[in-house]
Amino acid sequence: MMRRYYDHFWTMHWMGMVLWILFIAAFIFIIWKIADNRKKENIPLDILKERFARGEITKEEFEEQKRILRG
């Protein structure tokens, strides 16, 4: 009788640990994806700033394109 309870306890213990590990891994993955998307959103604006700094576009063109990029 005691052996069955002991086996059941450890089985539940390991299942709980696996579920927690999966939960933490999913949380880290979601945070990583959100950060990655934010980084990608800034790339066009960075290119626009570089073009303005090199003098390829005027201040008016820069402001207009920045407004378009930000929606």
33-63 exposure pattern, b = at least 16 Cβ within 10 A, e = fewer: eeeeeeeeeeeeeeebeeebeeeeeeeeebe
Give per-residue pLDDT as tens, 1-25. Answer: 456 666 666 677 778 888 999 999 9
Give, in degrees to the nearest 5, the angle at Cα 39 between 37 and 41.
70
Give pTM, 2 decimals. 0.49
Instruction: Report the pLDDT value the prediction gives residue 69, as an integer from 0 to 100.
Output: 86
Instruction: Report the pLDDT value the prediction gives residue 31, as an integer from 0 to 100.
Output: 93
- The predicted model gives 25-47 an average pLDDT of 85
Separation CA 30–CA 23 (nearest Å): 11
- Using DSSP, state whether 55 is helix, strand or coil: coil
Instruction: Report the pLDDT value the prediction gives residue 61, as an integer from 0 to 100.
Output: 95
- The predicted model gives 17-39 an average pLDDT of 90
